[in-house]
A and B are shown apart, each in its own frame.
Chain A
Amino acid sequence: MNPRLYFTFSAAVLALFAAALLLPLQSLPALWGSDPELAGIVITELRLPRALLALVYGAVLGASGAAIQALFANPLASPDITGATGGAALGAVFTAYILGLAGPVAVALGGVTGAGLALGLLLLLAGPRAETATLLLAGIAISAITGATTALALALAPSPFAFYDAYDWLMGSLVDRSLPQLLFAAVPALAALVYLATRARPLDALALGEDTAAAMGHDITGLRYGVVAATALGVGAAVSVCGAVGFIGLVGPVLARRLTAGHPGRAILPAALIGSVLLLSADLAIRFAPPDRSIPVGVLTAMLGAPFFLWLVARMRWDAKP
């Protein structure tokens, strides 16, 4: 991707970030006039964490989606479709409601462990180079297991309000997160982003074939574990704070590769930028829901992302025809 496009996307991220702080605007100027301190609090304590979460969560979804697609050599792989998101949700729910450890560190650790276990299971089931059918079936199986187990954990939870509490969170929401929560999502996500960004070249070389990349001096086993661990870390921690936000990890990389002539590795950074743009936009859009209703942001991304996924599957079918 050329520097001008990077600049454009970075500018888009900044503009959306500013919009996330200022919108909806209607009450803000009046509040500023009557009580500037409160207006400041609205911006720094309510909207800033929410905007930062959207920025970081979107970026880590895009980057890890691109890395997982490059690793599995499959454009349909992504954190949610591989079951990593579901595993993270299960890990976080289990830690918070069954083990009763509701602190942000424990929940984040639970999320990371759950995502890691789900990805490890996928590697076992689908193998290093996942055929589309195996990948999707393994992903469906893992998602079914994690979904059912999450529901079971909530049903068995000592707290009678567990289902109600968890509903909003499981659907994916960035609203009302505290500063510590923001840190426990953002720090692991940034670490994962930095690591994944450095793997662009080996992941591109992997497109030449595993043996060729290995003969060129790339440590393929290390790369595989590294990408899986970074995805588990970044996505797991983000899910434990914001819940499951689907399809951005699928859409971001697919769009990013249109800008990198199809190169899977060098699409990682553009995919991170596009992921941020998508999640910031989705989180802005739901603010314009009817005043007494709140729509979880994950619902919106799934409603837009699922048809895109269907289109991808259909296009792969057309491509496969000689």
Chain B
Amino acid sequence: MTMIVGPNGAGKTSLLRVLAGIGGDGDIEIDGEALGSLPPSRRAARLAFLGASRDIRWPLSARDFVALGLMGSADPNRVERALGLVDAEGFGARRLDRLSTGERSRIMIARALAPGAGVVLLDEPCANLDPKWQLVVLDRLRAEAQAGAVVALSIHDLDLARRHGDRVIVIEDGRIAADGPPAEALSDMIVERVFGIRRKQDFWIRA
């Protein structure tokens, strides 16, 4: 599980969009197959992407929304399993625009996890979630990673990034400032230089 961290505007979202094949030029290859050459039906099984926006374009039910992520092969068992991953079976029938922001975020994460894609890219999956749900979501993503998926996500909470990531990439002004195991990539020196904060006892303070 790879954590992408960096200050606002450093390029985390841009990096994830490029990896998902929707920003910039060039080709993305997964296992030697060019992403651009895959039809939508096969692409969904290869790559899942959760963008930064939690806006809803259309007021579908939560369950239908998750099913749309499966591209036609809307196997009801997969949909229920994905809803179960975020404990959303209880509000699967409700319309997205009637859900709270956090519940909506969980449904969107379920949508990204539903296809069981080999590569899962998520732009701030923890945004809008309460502290417990941030932990739950990171645990579920870790389970996906342990099952063999490549999981990469951007995150603002450095403590969560350090604790839950196998690899941390620190982005600064569109460049990789550090890349490695959490303890190395998020060393005091790098954090202070890139983010301008340092640890004082239990808290972060401005450096």
Q: How far is B72's CA from A204's CA once the two chains are assembled, in angstroms?
A: 10
When the two chains form their complex, are residues B72 and A217 in contact, meaning their CB atoms are under 8 A apart? Answer: no
If A211-B22, A212-B51, A319-B97 touch, does A217 touch B38 (CB 8 Å cutoff)? yes
B68 / chain A contacts, CB cutoff of 8 Å: 204-205, 207-208, 263
Q: How far is B110's CA from A208's CA once the two chains are assembled, in angstroms?
A: 12
A211 / chain B contacts, CB cutoff of 8 Å: 17, 20, 22, 49, 51, 53
B39 / chain A contacts, CB cutoff of 8 Å: 217
Residue B204 is within 8 A (CB to CB) of chain A in the complex: no
How far apart are B202's CB and chain A's nearest CB, in angstroms?
Answer: 37
B49 / chain A contacts, CB cutoff of 8 Å: 211-212, 215-216
Closest chain B residue, CB of each to CB of A202: B40
When the two chains form their complex, are residues B69 and A208 in contact, meaning their CB atoms are under 8 A apart? Answer: yes
A264 / chain B contacts, CB cutoff of 8 Å: 58
How far apart are B76's CB and chain A's nearest CB, in angstroms?
Answer: 14
Residue A214 is within 8 A (CB to CB) of chain B in the complex: yes
When the two chains form their complex, are residues A201 and B72 in contact, meaning their CB atoms are under 8 A apart? Answer: yes
User: Which of A202, A212, A261 interacts with B61 by CB under 8 Å?
Assistant: A261
Residue B47 is within 8 A (CB to CB) of chain A in the complex: yes
How far apart are A212's CB and chain B's nearest CB, in angstroms?
Answer: 6
If A129-B57, A201-B72, A211-B17 touch, does A216 touch B40 (CB 8 Å cutoff)? yes
User: Which of A201, A212, A216, A262 interacts with B60 by CB under 8 Å?
Assistant: A262
User: Which of A70, A202, A216, A262 interacts with B43 by CB under 8 Å?
Assistant: A216
Closest chain A residue, CB of each to CB of B66: A208
How far apart are B113's CB and chain A's nearest CB, in angstroms?
Answer: 13
Which A20-54 residues have C-beta < 8 A from chain B? none
Total A-B contacts with CB atoms under 8 angstroms apart: 73
Interface string of A55-80 (1 = CB under 8 A from B): 00000000000000010010000000
How far apart are B78's CB and chain A's nearest CB, in angstroms?
Answer: 16
B55 / chain A contacts, CB cutoff of 8 Å: 209
Which B148-183 residues have C-beta < 8 A from chain A? none
When the two chains form their complex, are residues B51 and A207 in contact, meaning their CB atoms are under 8 A apart? Answer: no
If A73-B57, A216-B44, A217-B40 touch, does A262 touch B72 (CB 8 Å cutoff)? no
When the two chains form their complex, are residues B64 and A262 in contact, meaning their CB atoms are under 8 A apart? Answer: yes
Residue A274 is within 8 A (CB to CB) of chain B in the complex: no
B17 / chain A contacts, CB cutoff of 8 Å: 211
When the two chains form their complex, are residues B58 and A205 in contact, meaning their CB atoms are under 8 A apart? Answer: no
How far apart are B124's CB and chain A's nearest CB, in angstroms?
Answer: 13
Chain A residues proximal to chain B, CB less than 8 Å: 70, 73, 129, 201-202, 204-212, 214-218, 261-264, 319
A-B contact pairs, 20 of them (CB 8 A): A73-B58, A201-B40, A205-B71, A208-B65, A208-B69, A209-B51, A209-B57, A211-B17, A211-B49, A211-B53, A215-B47, A215-B48, A215-B49, A217-B35, A217-B38, A217-B44, A261-B60, A262-B58, A262-B61, A263-B64
Across the A-B interface, give the 9 residue pairs with the lowest CB-CB distance, nearest first: A211-B51, A215-B49, A207-B58, A217-B40, A217-B43, A73-B57, A215-B20, A214-B22, A216-B40
- Not counting A204-B68, A212-B50, A262-B58, a sample of 5 additional A-B residue pairs whose C-beta atoms are within 8 angstroms of each other reads A206-B57, A211-B53, A216-B40, A216-B49, A263-B64
